Amino acid sequence: MTLTGNLLIGQRAVPGTEAPIRAIDPATHQPLEPAYPGASAEHVAQACALAWAAFDAYRETSLEQRAHFLDSIAGQIEALGDELIHRAVAETGLPPARIQGERGRTCMQLRTFARVVRAGEWLDVRVDPALPERQPLARPDLRQRQVALGPVAVFGASNFPLAFSVAGGDTVSALAAGCPVVVKAHGAHPGTSELVGHAVALAVKQCGLPEGVFSLLHGSGREVGLGLVNDPRIKAVGFTGSRSGGLALLHAAQARPEPIPVYAEMASINPVFLFEHALQANTDALAQGFVASLTQGAGQFCTNPGLVIARQGPALQRFVEQAGEHVRQAVAQTMLTPGIFSAYEAGVAALAENRNAQTAASGQPAQGPNQCQAQLFVTEARAFLADEALQAEVFGAASLVVTCDSDEQIREVAEHLEGQLTATLHLVDADLASARALLPTLERKAGRILVNGWPTGVEVCDTMVHGGPFPATSDARSTSVGTAAILRFLRPVCYQGFPDALLPQALQQGNPLHLRRLLDGQREA
Amino acid sequence: MTLTGNLLIGQRAVPGTEAPIRAIDPATHQPLEPAYPGASAEHVAQACALAWAAFDAYRETSLEQRAHFLDSIAGQIEALGDELIHRAVAETGLPPARIQGERGRTCMQLRTFARVVRAGEWLDVRVDPALPERQPLARPDLRQRQVALGPVAVFGASNFPLAFSVAGGDTVSALAAGCPVVVKAHGAHPGTSELVGHAVALAVKQCGLPEGVFSLLHGSGREVGLGLVNDPRIKAVGFTGSRSGGLALLHAAQARPEPIPVYAEMASINPVFLFEHALQANTDALAQGFVASLTQGAGQFCTNPGLVIARQGPALQRFVEQAGEHVRQAVAQTMLTPGIFSAYEAGVAALAENRNAQTAASGQPAQGPNQCQAQLFVTEARAFLADEALQAEVFGAASLVVTCDSDEQIREVAEHLEGQLTATLHLVDADLASARALLPTLERKAGRILVNGWPTGVEVCDTMVHGGPFPATSDARSTSVGTAAILRFLRPVCYQGFPDALLPQALQQGNPLHLRRLLDGQREA
């Protein structure tokens, strides 16, 4: 299809009227056609009005209808073929194989949520039958199900132009829950967004759903983004991006006459703890694994290992030398956007100038525009504890090794950390006692704790937690990756004394949806 | 036991040092001994430090230990005997039978949560076993459980001095989740609070738990209340009370460097819809049931029916006449506090002076101080839609009948409502179509929808939703009554690649807690 530069307001492709956004190929620093004029306040209002109009009907679509819709989106995305790959590569500087893999992940994610919708466990149906003879008061018949929150504003992420953008994790979990979605496209990949948006809109049409189920707007965060969050018809927000961006949306959402939930996935430096015996036993393998995780995708993962914590000594010294060697061999990679590249450069420069941190190694220099030169720094625990600047996220392939003089100091460093998406432990049996002592702290600090792995690589499954205490996310009670992400967009409603004819299907006496209900306190088999 | 007027900081009874609070017997308007000097900032910090120190150990108590603790609290409350009843009656003006009933409900609630803790379903254990052979990438072993958020600040409610106060719904669900609790006692019943607080502290001691699991502070909302919410060691807030009080805590919690969840149950007028055929068939019974619900407990329930909506016509006219007759016979009842009484008087005066509302009936005049004279007002839908003041909650036995000229106008009034704890429908079979048309609106507006009942009376069970969209609560995704209230104080943590020896018991391979896990996508039988 020919890219038009239009907005998608329901089924209508409409040219924006505000300042245009134009993607830049970060590998060449050249602008890409077409321009994407921004949505006006009127466009925002139109998209929200359509979403609102669609809400009551969409949230009561059958499980099969909704699952089929998600499957159809996957099919439509696959039908875009190589055009999607080419455009995403041009807009992100990511290699084609990565984009192909990400397309696979995106479609798998859509189909996974289709299965989740069909299974219906998320409805969490509960039934407490009437007890008319109970003394001193009869109990009425009481039933509970989960209902969708309402239209959701989704903000695409720059670093997953498919898997966490227009039809990514936030969108699919909101749609699965029964929420219409209005996406604000990320300005770094508007063409990719248009292609995927078109695929979603086609699926909406083919499935005969109300058009307001999905809209796609281009424009600035300040105008279109805050416009969406401030619209009274929007009832929740999904966001992946910077701490400042997430906080701006969070504050706007909280200042509304009716505050709404914001699921913002923001900043995390993903500490890696190398325990004494594991470090001694596996120094070289750890150094290699660490740098592979650090430099993967130019370090542009939310779960990039930005911090390594271990006891000082010969083993750690060797680890730093070996990791430094791998870093020095690391080829510079194109970053997603010129903005991300300059933020990386600024972050690295701040560390290089910080007298509390020493540069241990730098990667191969850049060969083209916007290329990330990997960096490894070292600091001492005492300095780390005293200098908050050393805890700032540097988005890209930079990491800081913190040398500690005791297990107790390792614990102190861990306690000093802000909330994290992940914490990683490398250990052998002889380290178990040390790890066990640290675990309570890590459980308070992180959404996912890994043993003998690396934090990059996030499974889409039932157990995944891609979340964590503030500022990793704005709501630690949830995950944005994995099937539990659907729970973010639901709320419980209790139906008391309803005649069967008035009950929603999920709650009817005959259990026509064959759900495993919590019946009178017992989960049905 | 002799009331001391002390704070309870862990196991230590400490005299407060700030301005004292003294309960007033609302029936006599006389102050009650002793005075309760307020907690200082230092006391707040001490209680939070103890709670923090207790947290890691308390959240890993075994299910049986924690359940036994909740059962022990119930036993200790019962052991207080009549002293608790006498003091609560004196401090609230509520009749002894009501307080006895509420004590039963409170202890039943504690024992219900003990059962919930033992069953362990709230841990929501999920296991995705490793797939070492998977292509292109192996899947690591992934496990998820829920962990407690951290110490919780609980604000007791005035209208349930036992069931939603020191050892009430918020406290028991937080303790069940594994969160230490710091209670700010409600200033209206400090003596009742001291007695119950002493019971909880005894249970803490008997169960050998760390003392910081529970503290009880007296003092002002502005100082002790905001002091608690601003303490970095507090990780969530439970509150039941006024809209202004709830919003003040919500805003403080959001302005913290680390924002935290606030579960504030605030304002609700609980609309009752009388459908045409039901109203015609059962006019007199509906009028009688309505006024019984309206005047119960001087109307001091969060779910009091403050709004009645129906089509105008002879049946509604007769309903208003009949309800007016019952209201005129209603004896004035002592309200909980002089403050609540004057707010009620002001709310009623505002309605009486509002030219959009007519007084239909007034109850028996007061015979003593702080007595609530029931009031029934009538207005037209058009006026209601135009005048936001008519939607303000009047806490007490006052209600407003809104007369509509069509089903469509009923829907318009429903759409115009703010979020509610409850919405009630009275209907017969011939009304089903009208009810069905209104249901989507009500599902968006309320946490609980009742058919042919009255909203006062809230079951403690698995299906209950005592919650609802803003401003009914600050977080519509939750309930403060019923077993699902425990979910408010939990967050998921994912354990990846853990050796069995390092896993928490709930997640170990052998499933030693015999939980029904979500294993590889299937719920275990």
pLDDT of residue A525 exceeding 90: no
Helix (H) / strand (E) element for A215: namely strand A214-217
Interchain CB contact of B440 with A (< 8 Å): yes
Distance (Å, whole) CA B496 – CA A161? 26
> Which residues in A lie closer than 8 A to residue B479 (C-beta atoms)?
492, 494
Two structure tokens written together for B133 = 């052979």
Q: Read off the tokens for A401.
A: 């090794």
Secondary structure (3-state) at B312: coil
- How far apart CA B197 and CA B190 sit, in angstroms, is 10
Pull the structure tokens for residue B266.
């605030």
Q: Is residue B508 within 8 Å of residue B255, measured between CB atoms?
A: no
| Number of neighbours of residue B353 by Cβ within 10 angstroms | 8
pLDDT tens, residue by residue, A250-306? 999 999 999 999 999 998 999 999 999 999 999 999 999 999 999 999 999 999 999
Cross-chain Cβ contact A461/B491 below 8 Å: no
Told to judge if B302 belongs to the known catalytic residues of this protein, a careful annotator would answer yes
What's the residue count for chain B? 525
Q: What is the mean pLDDT of chain B?
A: 97
pLDDT in 10s for each residue of chain B, 525 residues: 899 999 999 999 999 999 999 999 999 999 999 999 999 999 999 999 999 999 999 999 999 999 999 999 999 999 999 999 999 999 999 999 999 999 999 999 999 999 999 999 999 999 999 999 999 899 999 999 999 999 999 999 999 999 999 999 999 999 999 999 999 999 999 999 999 999 999 999 999 999 999 999 999 998 999 999 999 999 999 999 999 999 999 999 999 999 999 999 998 999 999 999 999 999 999 999 999 999 999 999 999 999 999 999 999 999 999 999 999 999 999 999 999 999 999 999 999 999 999 999 999 999 999 999 999 999 999 999 999 999 999 999 999 999 999 999 999 999 999 999 999 999 999 999 999 999 999 999 999 999 999 999 999 999 999 999 999 999 999 999 999 999 999 999 999 999 999 999 999 999 999 999 999 999 888
pLDDT recorded at residue A1: 83
Cβ neighbours, 10 Å, residue B109: 26
Name the catalytic one among A102, A211, A265, A393.
A265
| A444 contact B CB<8A | yes
The strand ranges marked E within B266-406 are 271-274, 307-311, 333-334, 357-362, 371-372, 375-380, 398-404
Task: Answer whether B461 sits within 8 Å of A496, measured CB to CB.
Answer: no
Q: Is B415 near chain A, with CB under 8 Å?
A: no
For residue A365, the model assigns a pLDDT of 97
C-alpha to C-alpha distance for B21 and B31, rounded to whole angstroms: 10
In this structure, the strands spanning A12-15 and A6-9 are antiparallel
For residue B203, the Cα-to-chain-centroid distance in whole angstroms is 23
pLDDT (0 to 100) of residue A136: 87
Residue with tokens 């003394």: A135
- Are A502 and B443 an interchain contact pair (Cβ–Cβ within 8 Å)? no
Burial zone of B345 (CB within 10 Å; 0-12 exposed, 13-18 middle, 19+ buried): middle
Handedness of CA B164, B169, B175, B180 (dihedral sign): negative
- The answer to whether the peptide bond before residue B136 is cis (omega within 30 degrees of 0) is yes
Nearest to B468 by CA among A224, A262, A183, A147: A147
Using alpha carbons, select from A420, A271, A118 the residue that is nearest to residue B521. Answer: A118
**Residue A305 Cα distances to A101, A292, A293, A295, A400, angstroms:** 22, 10, 7, 9, 9
* Interaxial angle between packed helices A190-206 and A82-92, expressed in degrees from 0 to 180 and rounded to the nearest 10: 150
Three-state DSSP at A263 gives: strand
Structure tokens of B226?
């905001």
Quickly list DSSP for B93-143: ---HHHHHHHHHHHHHHHHHHHHHHHH-GGG--EEE--BTT-SSSPBPPEE
Question: HSE-up of B444 (CA within 13 Å, CB side)?
Answer: 22
Domain segments of chain A as ranges: 10-15+45-266+477-488, 271-451
Interatomic CA distance for residues B89 and A208, integer angstroms: 61
Query: For residue A466, what are the CA distances in angstroms to A101, A447, B184?
Result: 19, 6, 34
Average pLDDT over residues A55-66: 98
Q: What percent of chain A has pLDDT over 90?
A: 98
Contact call for residues A262 and B475 (beta carbons, < 8 A): no
Residue with tokens 């991006």: A241
Active-site residue flag, A207:
no
Nearest to A24 by CA among A12, A13, A36, A33: A33
Phi, psi angles (nearest 5°) of residue A502? -100, -10
The three state secondary structure string of A50-75 is HHHHHHHHHHCCCHHHHHHHHHHHHH
Nearest C-alpha in B relative to A260: B475
CB-based contact A465 B525, cutoff 8 Å = no
Determine whether the interchain pair A491/B477 forms a contact, defined as Cβ–Cβ distance below 8 Å.
yes
Q: How many separate helices (H) and strands (E) can be counted in chain A?
A: 15, 25
* Distance (Å, whole) CA B3 – CA B183: 18
- Collapsing DSSP to helix, strand or coil, B405 comes out as coil
Q: What is the CATH number of domain B43-266+477-488?
A: 3.40.605.10
> What pLDDT sits at residue B525?
81
Orientation of helix B96-119 relative to helix B82-92, angle to 10°: 120
Tell me which of A302, A372, A380, A393 is the catalytic residue.
A302
**Does the beta-carbon distance from B449 to A60 stay under 8 Å?**
no
**A389-395 mean pLDDT:** 95
Q: Is the pLDDT of residue A418 over 90?
A: yes
* CA A472 remoteness from chain centre: 10
Query: Are B26 and B206 a contacting pair, CB within 8 Å?
Result: no
Does the A10-15+45-266+477-488 domain belong in CATH 3.40.605.10?
Answer: yes
Residue A273 β-bridge partners: A309, A425
Q: Where are the beta strands (DSSP E) in B187-320?
A: 214-217, 236-240, 262-265, 271-274, 307-311
CB contact under 8 A, B461 and A128: yes
Give the neighbor-by-neighbor strand order of the sheet with B12-15: B12-15, B6-9, B214-217, B181-184, B152-155, B236-240, B262-265
Q: Helix A82-92 to helix A96-119 angle, to the nearest 10 degrees?
A: 120
Number of H helices, E strands in chain B: 15, 25
10 Å Cβ neighbour count for B172?
Answer: 29
Give how far Cα A386 sits from Cα of A44, A381, A420, Å: 46, 9, 19
Contacts of A478 in chain B (CB under 8 A): 491-492
Q: CB under 8 Å, gap of 24 or more: what pairs does A14-20 form? A: A14/A43, A16/A40, A16/A43, A16/A217, A16/A218, A16/A219, A17/A43, A18/A219, A18/A220, A18/A223, A19/A219, A19/A220
Residue with tokens 């730098």: A362
Asked if residues A381 and A402 have their Cβ atoms less than 8 Å apart, the reply is yes
For residues A180-200, average pLDDT: 98
Residue A105: its H or E element: helix A96-119
- Rg (C-alpha) for chain A, rounded Å, is 25
Calculate mean pLDDT across residues A452-474. Answer: 97
User: Do the strands A36-38 and A18-21 form a parallel or antiparallel pair, or are they unpaired?
Assistant: antiparallel
Length of chain A in residues, anyone?
525
CB-CB neighbors (< 8 A) of A472 in chain B? none
Cis peptide before B31 (omega within 30 of 0): no
Cis (ω within 30 of 0) for the bond into B129? no
CB A199 within 8 A of CB A177: no
Q: How many CB pairs under 8 A join A and B?
A: 191
> What ipTM was estimated for this complex?
0.98
One-letter amino acid for residue A167 of the chain: A
The model's confidence at residue A413, banded by pLDDT at 50, 70 and 90, is: very high
Look at residue B228 in the predicted model and tell me its pLDDT.
98
- Which chain B residues have a beta carbon less than 8 Å from that of A464? 142, 144, 494
Residue A421 is inside which H or E element, if any? strand A420-426
State the sign of the Cα–Cα–Cα–Cα dihedral B169, B174, B178, B184. negative
**Predicted confidence (pLDDT) at residue A362 exceeds the cutoff of 90:** yes
Return the residue in A273, A450, A491 with the most chain B beta carbons within 10 A, the one to mutate for interface testing. Answer: A491
Classified as helix, coil or strand, B159 is coil
> For chain B, how big is the Rg over CA atoms in Å?
25
CA B18 to chain centre: 28
CATH superfamily of B271-451: Aldehyde Dehydrogenase; Chain A, domain 2 (3.40.309.10)
Q: How far apart are CA B49 and CA B53, in angstroms?
A: 6
